Amino acid sequence: MKRTAIYLRVSTDKQAQEGDSIPAQRDALRKYVKEHNYILVGEYLDDGISGTKEDRAEFQRMMEDVKRGLIELILVTKLDRIHRSLRNFLNMQDTLDKYNCDWLAIWEPMYDSSTPQGRMIINTMMNLAQFEAEQTGQRIRQVFQYKREKGEVLSGKVPCGLKIENKHLVADENFENAKKIFEHYREHGNLRKTVDYAISIGVMLGSSGIKKMLKNERYRPFVGADLFDDVQMLFSKNIKYNTYRTYIFTGLVVCAECGGKLGGHTRSHELQYYRCLRHFNKGNAISPCGNSGTIGERVIERYLLEHVKEMLTEYLFQKQQDKPKDNSKRIATLQKKMGKLKDLYLNDLINLEEYKKDKQNYEKEIASLQTPVQRDFSAHEAVLQMNLEEFYPALTQEQKRAFWRSIISKITFSKDRKIEVFFL
């Protein structure tokens, strides 16, 4: 008979249209309270303010009631109803802990603050959300700052990487970057990530700029028809499904033959698979790869779900057997070097500034050797505790991606279709 509060919030019209309106949330939450024989002690409703703002009146009122000991459990439909900002969330969590109040997102049952697995997942996801919010903000700032400085040079009529010479369009010195942007989009199929990538190589365009670029027919003869058409196909699919496809395993899956990354690809609408880019982009590769195999995303997922616990157990056991590295020799060498350094200074062979700087470097290294880093395997252990069959299917593509990334460093795929998994 838990004393339960329900918290309701809608932040955009889109959410309201998608069956996520206040009445829909209220019905679902009340039903949940009833089904579990909880006591409903309060309903709190905030309307339409950004999730990062902390001054939400009803939310504050609810937290006051928590502090008065009136509430043991807060129910929301989804996590983003509570907080988008990690810092604010952690502030709230401290208060909730202090007053023994749990919370649960009923449409996302893996977010359950009363279990250790739930806690681990919540922390992972909140970290991810915060990271994304920061990235987006930073990306927008970078683009604006650049445009201010350069006076909008990039939105001219001639596309980036091409120039007009004798009335003909030809590649210029930036063309390699333009091509890399096409390749990146083909590999990841994700516009947002491609914008990040473009900025990282100095092409300061926002998402509409990159989209225009990728759809601009004038690039076709320059980047090659294959690449151009692949990109168009990916585009039309993404638009059709109104989602920028997330590949769960890009960056993690690696070709066992050539060591290159496998690229994500989509076949017949939904089927996502991976293949060695150095094989399939033979024309561009310096040394083409012989791995012509493709592996489906579902296949990798199934393999991991079936084997991950067994593999993790083995991995953690191995890690336990590993002896801590003996650093004493290296430390002795460094101490000797410091002695010599002092001699150099005393004999006027180096000046005080040089002496101080080098001494500091040696001291830093010695300190780091004396306190070896403790590896944190809590994510691995949490996975061992989880009911994966229940937990995993409820995740979004992004969350699945984050989930595997929290424990796996690399998955290799060989010519004879062998998968090998390496953990962090």
Task: Provide the binding-site residues for Zn ion, judged by CB under 5 A.
Answer: 255, 257-258, 260, 276, 278, 289, 291
CA atoms in the 13 A half-sphere facing the CB of 416: 0
Q: Are 231 and 188 in contact (CB under 8 A)?
A: no
How many whole angstroms separate alpha carbon 30 and alpha carbon 403? 31
- Tell me the longest C-alpha to C-alpha distance in the chain: 84
Query: Minimum CB separation from Zn ion for residue 417, in Å?
Result: 13
224 or 260, CB closer to Zn ion? 260
198 or 255, CB closer to Zn ion? 255
Query: Minimum CB separation from Zn ion for residue 287, in Å?
Result: 10
Query: Minimum CB separation from Zn ion for residue 234, in Å?
Result: 21
72 or 257, CB closer to Zn ion? 257
How many whole angstroms separate alpha carbon 209 and alpha carbon 223? 18
- Calculate the alpha carbon distances from 323 to 225, 327, 421 in Å: 55, 12, 23
Q: Which amino acid is at 317?
A: F
10 or 277, CB closer to Zn ion? 277
Query: Minimum CB separation from Zn ion for residue 293, in Å?
Result: 9
102 or 257, CB closer to Zn ion? 257
Facing residues of 263 across strands? 275
10 or 253, CB closer to Zn ion? 253
DSSP state of 18: T
29 or 255, CB closer to Zn ion? 255
* The pair of three-digit structure tokens given for residue 274, joined into one six-digit string: 């991976």
How many whole angstroms separate alpha carbon 52 and alpha carbon 75? 19
Q: Nearest Cα to 422, choosing from 221, 256, 188, 285?
A: 256
Q: Scanning the structure block, which residue is given the tokens 């043991």?
A: 72
Query: Minimum CB separation from Zn ion for residue 186, in Å?
Result: 16
Query: Minimum CB separation from Zn ion for residue 290, in Å?
Result: 7
188 or 275, CB closer to Zn ion? 275
β-pairing verdict for 162-165 and 168-171:
antiparallel
How many whole angstroms separate alpha carbon 152 and alpha carbon 382? 49
* Element holding 420 (H helix, E strand): strand 419-423
Query: Minimum CB separation from Zn ion for residue 284, in Å?
Result: 13
123 or 291, CB closer to Zn ion? 291
List of long-range contacts for 209-218, beta carbons under 8 Å, 24+ apart: 209/154, 209/155, 210/181, 210/185, 213/159, 213/160, 213/178, 213/181, 214/181, 214/182, 214/185, 216/159, 218/159, 218/162, 218/169
* The pair of three-digit structure tokens given for residue 372, joined into one six-digit string: 């070896």
Q: Are 254 and 260 in contact (CB under 8 A)?
A: yes
How many whole angstroms separate alpha carbon 233 and alpha carbon 243? 14
What counts of helices (H) and strands (E) characterise the chain?
17, 12
* The pair of three-digit structure tokens given for residue 144, joined into one six-digit string: 């604006």
114 or 414, CB closer to Zn ion? 414
174 or 294, CB closer to Zn ion? 294
Facing residues of 40 across strands? 4
